[in-house]
């Protein structure tokens, strides 16, 4: 990360000094390599630095969690990737992990246990809510989202898979904006179209892409900002909005970006 004001400690460097951070930030493949998701990674790191959170990343020692491999049916590859990650995490005696990707969150928190990787894994929206509750995140008056109409898209792996609905909404409520729900939300939320490894393959035959169907819900909400909490959702909804040529009217933003832009 080239930004001079971003401080990103490496796990290996801290370990060499005999230190261990309070939390490991699992960046994920999207957060590392996708240009749009990198902006979310930077925003989240800026928040962690501003509040003085003790954290570190694995850097080159982090590889894919194996989520896309398992979802697409390659169990052997998943177990290989998981074993490699668990070995590194256990070597550093990692106890607590935060990630900006619900897919990483679900895999690390729910699927690594049976392979010997038992960690407390939290999603970044949950951590943001905790930091707000503790008074560590303070938002400036009249922020850039004041009075705007905002809607929130539930990520499948955050919502239905892990029952996290309130934390993202509670964080958004702080922005002094008008929060409106999509007609399909919470337990009845509609997938963005990228889950189940669909992000990496051609879709099956049909009359309408899932992200086009979901973009219809967004347009009906008449929101000027769609808040997301997943890099896949960001891509799919961003593409849907562009296809409708509404990118000047509707912004698709991760909750971390919105909070970072609104902090004192």
**Which residue, of 88, 107, 129, is where some domain finishes?**
129
pLDDT of residue 262: 93
Q: Which of the 8 DSSP states describes residue 249?
A: T
What are the residue ranges in the chain where pLDDT is below 70? 1-5, 142, 199-201
Q: Which of the 8 DSSP states describes residue 183?
A: S
| Same domain as 48, residue 26 | yes
Question: What's the domain count of the chain?
Answer: 2
| Cα–Cα nearest to 255, from 219, 230, 218 | 230
pLDDT per residue as tens digits for the range 147-180: 899 999 999 999 999 999 999 999 999 898 999 9
Residue 5 falls inside a structural domain: no
| Same domain as 183, residue 123 | no
pLDDT of residue 53: 95
Look at the block and give the residue holding tokens 């989520």. 67
| Same domain as 158, residue 71 | no
| Same domain as 148, residue 167 | yes
**Which residue, of 66, 101, 129, is where some domain finishes?**
129
| Same domain as 83, residue 25 | yes
φ, ψ (nearest 5 deg) of residue 115: -110, 10
Residue 210 falls inside a structural domain: yes
Residue 4 falls inside a structural domain: no
Residue 214 falls inside a structural domain: yes
| CATH number, residue 229 | 3.40.50
Rounded-to-integer distance, Cα 242 and Cα 244, Å: 5
pLDDT of residue 143: 74
pLDDT of residue 235: 94
| Coil, helix or strand at residue 97 | strand
Q: Which of the 8 DSSP states describes residue 154?
A: P
| Same domain as 56, residue 145 | no
| CATH number, residue 59 | 3.40.50.1860
Structure tokens at 158: 């955050």
Rounded-to-integer distance, Cα 127 and Cα 132, Å: 9
Range of the domain at 55: 11-129
pLDDT per residue as tens digits for the range 78-113: 999 999 999 999 999 999 999 999 999 999 999 999
| Same domain as 197, residue 91 | no
pLDDT of residue 136: 95
Residue 197 falls inside a structural domain: yes
| Same domain as 226, residue 115 | no
Rounded-to-integer distance, Cα 152 and Cα 145, Å: 14
| Same domain as 101, residue 63 | yes
Residue 180 falls inside a structural domain: yes
| Coil, helix or strand at residue 86 | helix
**Which residue, of 129, 157, 189, is where some domain finishes?**
129
Residue 62 falls inside a structural domain: yes
pTM attached to this predicted model: 0.94
Rounded-to-integer distance, Cα 37 and Cα 40, Å: 5
Residue 2 falls inside a structural domain: no
Q: Using alpha carbons, list the distances in angstroms from residue 251 to 19, 33, 128, 247.
A: 40, 22, 21, 6
| Same domain as 121, residue 161 | no
| Same domain as 251, residue 147 | yes
């Amino acid at each position: 990360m080239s930004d001079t004001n971003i401080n990103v400690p490496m796990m290996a460097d801290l370990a060499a000094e005999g230190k261990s951070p309070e939390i490991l930030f699992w960046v994920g493949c999207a957060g590392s390599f996708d240009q749009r998701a990198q902006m979310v990674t930077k925003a989240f790191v800026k928040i962690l630095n501003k509040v003085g959170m003790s954290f570190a990343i694995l850097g080159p020692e982090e590889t894919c969690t194996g989520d896309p491999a398992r979802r697409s049916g390659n169990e052997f590859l998943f177990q290989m990737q998981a074993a490699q990650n668990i070995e590194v995490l256990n070597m550093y005696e990692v106890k607590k992990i935060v990630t900006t990707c619900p897919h990483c969150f679900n895999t690390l928190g729910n699927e690594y246990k049976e392979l010997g990787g038992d960690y407390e894994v939290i999603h970044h929206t949950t951590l943001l809510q905790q930091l707000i509750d503790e008074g560590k995140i303070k938002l400036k008056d009249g922020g850039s989202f004041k009075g705007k109409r905002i809607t929130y898209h539930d990520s499948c792996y955050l919502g239905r898979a892990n029952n996290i609905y309130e934390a993202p909404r509670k964080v958004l409520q702080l922005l002094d904006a008008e929060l409106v729900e999509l007609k399909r939300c919470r337990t009845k939320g509609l997938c963005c179209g990228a889950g189940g490894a669909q992000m990496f393959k051609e879709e099956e035959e049909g009359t309408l892409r899932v992200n086009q169907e979901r973009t219809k819900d967004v347009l009906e909400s008449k929101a000027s900002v769609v808040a997301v909490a997943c890099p896949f959702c960001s891509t799919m909804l961003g593409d849907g909005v562009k296809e409708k040529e509404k990118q000047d009217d509707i912004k698709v933003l991760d909750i971390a970006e919105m909070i970072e832009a609104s902090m004192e």
